[in-house]
Amino acid sequence: MNCEKEPVAFADIDWNGLWYETQIGRRPRFRDPTFWDKRAPEFARNVKTDDYTDRFIKILQPQPEWRILDIGSAAGTLAVPLARRVAHVTAVDPSTGMRELLEARCRRNSIHNIQIVDGRWEDDWNRLGISVHDVAIASRSLIVKDLRNAILKLQRYSTQRVCLSTLVGDGPHDRKIVEATGRCFNPCPDYIVVLNLLHQMDIFPNLVFTCGRQQKTYHDVDDAVADMRWMIQEMTPREEEKLRVHLTGTLVREGDRLKLPYSKIVRWAVIWWDVTDSEC
């Protein structure tokens, strides 16, 4: 009996193309700054309740002398707490709504060492006035067509360390909610694609998982639908009605608020490496 099998040529897999096809090709709205403008208030509300920030900073171990480049900074999820620990933060984001929220947070907290830049991954960062920093981070912001080029770009703009984070499994998506509209939940390959691409690039990073339990509360069904709408692209009136029926029969009351009868575990993969180590 011949048990030999043709070996899988992992080295020939186009992980970069797979990333674009599955992460961006299926969800093009994530690349539209206006999508994030609409979600900006949600980020502002969750900044005090989400302990992801503390976990990320503990992994990063920022040093007082560091200058940090934060790509996809949003409303300052990391930029604001990091500004209290390091010399300087350059926060780059293409969403006007996110930048305005970050500016307001800086004024409110008397933070003066954050430079806020209107920019995208694809922009010429030199023309935006962005210089080389000690550390470059991209926290939950790898919304790029060319992941390989984005990684190389982060390395060019950092002298010490690159730190990324991306979803694990379903991430913050709730498949029960998506399926309640009548759609099939179509999960994307997650952090494992990033790791395999880094391996192809001869970069051997560190990997740490964060784990948090997510359970939001709502004023009413309208509030819940508005909060969940981002998960269902171009939701039709019929799909929205199905979601409302589902939530009406599912949400439970807690005091004067409503919540789902379950909490969702959300994991993120934090991937980091020292730039000099990638050359060893």
pLDDT on residue 213:
85
Indicate whether 225 belongs to any domain.
no
pLDDT on residue 42:
64
Q: Starting at the edge strand that comes first in sequence, how are the strands of the sheet with 217-218 ordered?
A: 217-218, 257-259, 252-254
Work out the pLDDT band at 4, boundaries 50, 70, 90.
low
Instruction: Report the distance separating Cα 93 and Cα 33, nearest Å.
Output: 9
Q: How much of the chain exceeds pLDDT 70, in percent? A: 85
Indicate whether 201 belongs to any domain.
yes
Work out the pLDDT band at 118, boundaries 50, 70, 90.
very high
Of 5-19, 107-121, 142-156, the one with minimum mean pLDDT is: 5-19
Q: Which residue has the higher pLDDT, 208 or 39?
A: 208
Per-residue pLDDT at 28 exceeds 90:
no
Q: What is the rounded average pLDDT of the residues 34-41? A: 62
Q: What is the CATH number of the domain that holds 83?
A: 3.40.50.150
Q: Domain containing 94: what range?
A: 11-172+186-212+265-275
Per-residue pLDDT at 267 exceeds 70:
yes
Per-residue pLDDT at 198 exceeds 70:
yes
Indicate whether 177 belongs to any domain.
no
pLDDT on residue 188:
76
Indicate whether 79 belongs to any domain.
yes
Q: How many CB atoms lie within 10 A of CB 274?
A: 16
Indicate whether 223 belongs to any domain.
no
Of 33-37, 106-110, 116-120, 174-178, the one with minimum mean pLDDT is: 33-37
Instruction: Report the distance separating Cα 128 and Cα 118, nearest Å.
Output: 8
Instruction: Report the distance separating Cα 111 and Cα 134, nearest Å.
Output: 20
212-262 tens-digit pLDDT: 888 889 999 999 999 998 888 789 999 999 999 999 999 999 999 999 999
What are the tokens at 148?
A: 């390989």
pLDDT on residue 1:
46
pLDDT on residue 160:
97
Q: Starting at the edge strand that comes first in sequence, how are the strands of the sheet with 158-167 ordered?
A: 114-118, 88-93, 67-71, 133-139, 158-167, 264-274, 206-214
Per-residue pLDDT at 32 exceeds 70:
no
Indicate whether 258 belongs to any domain.
no
pTM for the whole thing? Answer: 0.85
What are the tokens at 72?
A: 């996809």
Per-residue pLDDT at 278 exceeds 60:
no
Q: What is the rounded average pLDDT of the residues 249-277? A: 93
Q: How many domains does the chain have?
A: 1
Indicate whether 85 belongs to any domain.
yes
Indicate whether 235 belongs to any domain.
no
Average pLDDT, the chain: 88
CA distances from 19 to 145, 192, 208, 242, 267 (A): 8, 10, 21, 32, 19
